[in-house]
Every structure is written in structure tokens, then in C-alpha cells.
């Protein structure tokens, strides 16, 4: 660790600030990538002549691959050191971005997105790890004040950049643009970052646990996606896949019972109800936040006839709402506990989501923008309380496993959200195909409203795990 990072509060050494910016540069491309790709879903569907339920795997596959990668991050960091892992992941992300840009079929693109998602799943957790290695834990507040803005601006400008690229260049440039950024970041990391030594060369990886959790999660998501082809969730394929997925997760529970503290996610963590609430809440939070982010660009492009660039610009109010909410959330979590912060965030999110059950091609544009801003304010207060509260009351030795559990469940929820919203909309269109030919916009609006309905249901359902979180008001 860099000793200069332990300087007083008078300021940080310039080399530490420079190294922090280099680390953030390495993580920028993966952070922007998912938001840029969401805006291109409609174009991908058109260019490859594929249904929404097929094309959504470009997003869902990426998120599922991140789920698989997260447990590897801590193990590889312990075994070979953070800088080496970061370099390999950066190189893999750049090569997979180039391959994605050159994809000749939707099947190849989806396969490459799994690889790209795996590399992104290594990079994102290492962002925090390397910042701690470079600056020290005592300087993290000051470091995040410096580098936190570009991290928070990603969700705002990702759709805009993606929209402009798709409209004026091609969807392929969403992936091409990653390559020079990755090359610059790779060289700077290689020559400017200090080497981080392995923390535990004998660290053992829980292969069986990770295989059970990741395969179980992927099978459930796959089963949900299959429902779109059948135009119903009540079909043998979906029921079988979901049953197998749930079965694998139950088998993991039995396996973890015998592995105790050595499991990738120890069952002992669930003894605290706030951890249980956080984990189930993060799953639902992934659905609530990611699902609508797949639907909204389609809502603006297909239903309201906006250009892809304008659709990206239309999402800015939601991003601004999230940006404004974030600085306030931390203070209130410390003051009143995570429970009431999350409940307040969910209520505001509902105010910004319920209107989409009626919004259509005729809705006033400025009303849409105002509602999206409100939705952003609420959505910005969902993940932080859940993630923060998962650590409360737990032993320090479990911090790595808690972080893994949180990231896995949030990413699985995100994949489920994308799959669920796309499947619901596609299933509605499939069952109303004759009406679609006669009244296309009316049927489209109803299809998207069905998707938003499930976003509302999951937001309401999140109230249940919210009650399990810590409540500091009861102690005052």
C-alpha cells in the first residue's frame, strides 16, 4: 500500500490523486457500457431481425456473467494481486468489445457479451479494492469526493452517448468506442500504478458453491425468458427450468450448511434479519431498477416515435434525480437507519412509476420528464440502504463474503428484471398479434404498461424486506 496515502487531512499527495483517476478511467468503459447498450436494444432487434425476448439476452447475459465473475474477484485479488487482475480484466474487456463490434449474428453477439460481462464483473469490484490499496482506508472519503462524480454521471450520460452513437454512427460503435479507452487505461495502469502484492497466495476458491449459485440463477432467468416464446408463464418449459434453478439453490443451501463459514455465502449471515432483508431486497431492487431501464428506451422510440438520440436525452431527468438523491441518502441512513430511508425511497419510486401504467403516445412530454425525475429521486434511495445495512451487526471477517452476496443478488435481480420486463411485453404482443396489425400504437402502449405493472408490483413487494432493516428511530 502506498504510504503517502496516509497523510493528514490537509490534502492528498498528487501521485495518489493521479493513480485514483487512472483506476477510475479503467472502470469507466464497463460502467457506461450497460447503459449505452440499453438504448441500442431497439436497433439491434431491427438489424438482426430478432424479437425483444431474444435481443434482451445482450443485456441479461452481460449481467449474469457479472454474477459469475464477482466471487472470482476476491479470490484472484488474494492469489495474484489486484493490479494484475485489473490488467487482465481490462484487456479481456477491450478484446471482447472489439469482437462485439464485429459480430455478424445475434448469437455471436450474445456469446461475446457473456465474456464482456465476466470481465466487467472483475473490474467493477476491483475499483474500490484498488482505491483502498492506493489511498488507504482513511483517505477514501476524500478520494471518492474527487473521483465519485464521473462514477455517478455514468447513468445520466450513458444513454445520451449511446443514443447519439446509434443514431449518427452505428450500434457497433457503442463497442468500438471502448477500445481506445481501454488501451489508454491499460497502459496507464501498467506503468503508473504501483504493484499490489497478493494478500493470501493459499486462498481456496469455493468452486462448488459458485457453480451451484450461478447455474441456479441462470436457469431461473432462462426459464423466465422461455415464457415469451410460449406467450405465457404457465408452460412446461418455464416451470421445469425455474424448478431446476430453485432446486440448485436449495442444494447450495444444504452444501453451505456443511461448509459453514467456508462457503462463498455462509448461511450464518442470515441469522441477522437485516442481512436477510438486505439480500432479498437487493434481488427485488435489481428488478425495480434494471427492468424499466430496458423498457423506457423502447417506450420512447417505438411508442412515441422519438429518435434514438432523443430517447437517450429523455432519460436525463431520471439520472439527475438519482444524482441529487445520492449525497443525501448516506446522511439519513446514519441518522435514522436504513429502514425508513428505503421505505421513503420506495414510496417516491412508486409515485414515479405508477403513472406509466397509463402513459402512452399522447402523454405530455414535460409531464413524462417530471415523473421520470421523481422516479430517479426514489430509485437513488433504494440500493444504498440495502447494501449498507447488509454489513450492520456482522463480524468484520465476513465483509468479503457479504459484499459478494450483495453483488450477486443485485446482478441476478438486474438480469431477472430485464428478462421479466422483456418477456411480459413480448408475451402481450404475441397474444395480441391480430390487433397489432390494426392498432399498433395502442397495443404497444398496453404491452409496455404490462411491463411497468410488474415494476410496480416488485416495488411494493420490496416493502416487506425493508421492514427487516435497522431502525435507529426506535432507539431515540
**Is residue 217 located within the same domain as residue 201?**
no
**Is residue 251 located within the same domain as residue 160?**
no
| Highest mean predicted confidence (pLDDT) among 121-130, 147-156, 220-229, 274-283 | 274-283
**Is residue 184 located within the same domain as residue 223?**
no
**Is residue 359 located within the same domain as residue 223?**
no
Report percent pLDDT > 90 for the chain: 31
**Is residue 258 located within the same domain as residue 120?**
no
Report phi then psi at 13, rounded to 5.
-60, 145
What region does 120 belong to: left with phi over 0, alpha with psi -120 to 50, or beta?
Answer: alpha
What CA–CA distance (Å, rounded) separates 360 from 446?
Answer: 8
Q: What pLDDT, on a 0 to 100 scale, did the predictor assign at position 204?
A: 81
Question: Quick check: 343 pLDDT over 90?
Answer: yes
Q: What pLDDT, on a 0 to 100 scale, did the predictor assign at position 280?
A: 94
Burial class of residue 352 in the structure, from the number of CB atoms within 10 Å of its CB (0-12 exposed, 13-18 middle, 19+ buried) = buried
- Tell which of 221, 238, 263 closes a domain: 263
**Is residue 315 located within the same domain as residue 279?**
yes
CA distances from 370 to 48, 94, 161, 375 (A): 34, 37, 22, 9
pLDDT-derived band at 252 (thresholds 50, 70, 90) equals very high
What CA–CA distance (Å, rounded) separates 132 from 115?
Answer: 27
**Is residue 227 located within the same domain as residue 338?**
no
pLDDT per residue as tens digits for the range 160-199: 888 899 888 999 999 999 999 999 999 999 998 888 888 7
Domain extent at residue 222: 207-263
**Is residue 321 located within the same domain as residue 467?**
yes
Burial class of residue 424 in the structure, from the number of CB atoms within 10 Å of its CB (0-12 exposed, 13-18 middle, 19+ buried) = buried
Under 8 Å between Cβ of 190 and 87: yes
- Tell which of 206, 225, 240 closes a domain: 206
Mean pLDDT in residue range 255-279: 89
What region does 171 belong to: left with phi over 0, alpha with psi -120 to 50, or beta?
Answer: alpha
- For the chain, count helices (H), then strands (E): 20, 0
Question: Quick check: 7 pLDDT over 60?
Answer: no
**Is residue 156 located within the same domain as residue 241?**
no
Under 8 Å between Cβ of 41 and 60: no
CATH number of the domain at 468, please.
1.20.1250.20
- Tell which of 230, 263, 296 closes a domain: 263
**Is residue 49 located within the same domain as residue 39?**
yes
Under 8 Å between Cβ of 274 and 455: no
**Is residue 289 located within the same domain as residue 251?**
no
Round the average pLDDT of the chain to a whole number and report it.
84
pLDDT per residue as tens digits for the range 407-418: 888 888 887 888
Under 8 Å between Cβ of 447 and 262: no
End-to-end CA distance of the chain: 40
pLDDT per residue as tens digits for the range 374-430: 999 999 889 888 988 888 887 767 777 887 888 888 888 887 888 788 888 877 777
**Is residue 230 located within the same domain as residue 314?**
no
At how many degrees (to 10) do helices 57-80 and 106-135 cross?
40
Domains identified in the chain, total number: 3
Amino acid at each position: 500500500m502506498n504510504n503517502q496515502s496516509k497523510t493528514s487531512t490537509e490534502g492528498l499527495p498528487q501521485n495518489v490523486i493521479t493513480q485514483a483517476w487512472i483506476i477510475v478511467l479503467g472502470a469507466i468503459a464497463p460502467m457506461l457500457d450497460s447503459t449505452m447498450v440499453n438504448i441500442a436494444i431497439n436497433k439491434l432487434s431491427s438489424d438482426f431481425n430478432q424479437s425483444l425476448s431474444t435481443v434482451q439476452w445482450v443485456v441479461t447475459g452481460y449481467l449474469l456473467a457479472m454474477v459469475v465473475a464477482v466471487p472470482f474477484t476476491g479470490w484472484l485479488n488474494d492469489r495474484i494481486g489486484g493490479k494484475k487482475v485489473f490488467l487482465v480484466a481490462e484487456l479481456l474487456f477491450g478484446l471482447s468489445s472489439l469482437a462485439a463490434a464485429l459480430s455478424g449474428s445475434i448469437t455471436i453477439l450474445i456469446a461475446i457479451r457473456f465474456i464482456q460481462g465476466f470481465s466487467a464483473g472483475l473490474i467493477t469490484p476491483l475499483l474500490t479494492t484498488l482505491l483502498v490499496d492506493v489511498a488507504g482506508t482513511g483517505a477514501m472519503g476524500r478520494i471518492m469526493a474527487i473521483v465519485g462524480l464521473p462514477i455517478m454521471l455514468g447513468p445520466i450520460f450513458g444513454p445520451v452517448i449511446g443514443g447519439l452513437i446509434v443514431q449518427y454512427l452505428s450500434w457497433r460503435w457503442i463497442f468500438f468506442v471502448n477500445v481506445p479507452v481501454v488501451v489508454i487505461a491499460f497502459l496507464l495502469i501498467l506503468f503508473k500504478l504501483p504493484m499490489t502484492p497478493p494478500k493470501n497466495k493459499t486462498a481456496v476458491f469455493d468452486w462448488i458453491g459458485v457453480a451451484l449459485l450461478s447455474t441456479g440463477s441462470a436457469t431461473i432467468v432462462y426459464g423466465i425468458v422461455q415464457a415469451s416464446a410460449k406467450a405465457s408463464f404457465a408452460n412446461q418449459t418455464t416451470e421445469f427450468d425455474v424448478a431446476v434453478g430453485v432446486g440448485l439453490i436449495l442444494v447450495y443451501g444444504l452444501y453451505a450448511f456443511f461448509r459453514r463459514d467456508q462457503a462463498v455465502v455462509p448461511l450464518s449471515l442470515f441469522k441477522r434479519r437485516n442481512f436477510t432483508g438486505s439480500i432479498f431486497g437487493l434481488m427485488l431492487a435489481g428488478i425495480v431498477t434494471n427492468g424499466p431501464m430496458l423498457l423506457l428506451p423502447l417506450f420512447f422510440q417505438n411508442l412515441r416515435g422519438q429518435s434514438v438520440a432523443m430517447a437517450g436525452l429523455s432519460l436525463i431527468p431520471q439520472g439527475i434525480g438519482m444524482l441529487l438523491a445520492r449525497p443525501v441518502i448516506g446522511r439519513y441512513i446514519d441518522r435514522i437507519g436504513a429502514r425508513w430511508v428505503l421505505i421513503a425511497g420506495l414510496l417516491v419510486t412508486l409515485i414515479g412509476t405508477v403513472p406509466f401504467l397509463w402513459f402512452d403516445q399522447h402523454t405530455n412530454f414535460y409531464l413524462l420528464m417530471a415523473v421520470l425525475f421523481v422516479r430517479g429521486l426514489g430509485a437513488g434511495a433504494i440500493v444504498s440502504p440495502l447494501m449498507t445495512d447488509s454489513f450492520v451487526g456482522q463480524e468484520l471477517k465476513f465483509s468479503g463474503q457479504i459484499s459478494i452476496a450483495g453483488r450477486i443478488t443485485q446482478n441476478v435481480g438486474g438480469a431477472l428484471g430485464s428478462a421479466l420486463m422483456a418477456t411480459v411485453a413480448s408475451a402481450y404482443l404475441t397474444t395480441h398479434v391480430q390487433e397489432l396489425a390494426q392498432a399498433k400504437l395502442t397495443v404497444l402502449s398496453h404491452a409496455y404498461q404490462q411491463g411497468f405493472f410488474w415494476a410496480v408490483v416488485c416495488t411494493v413487494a420490496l416493502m416487506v424486506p425493508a421492514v427487516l432493516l435497522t431502525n435507529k428511530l426506535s432507539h431515540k
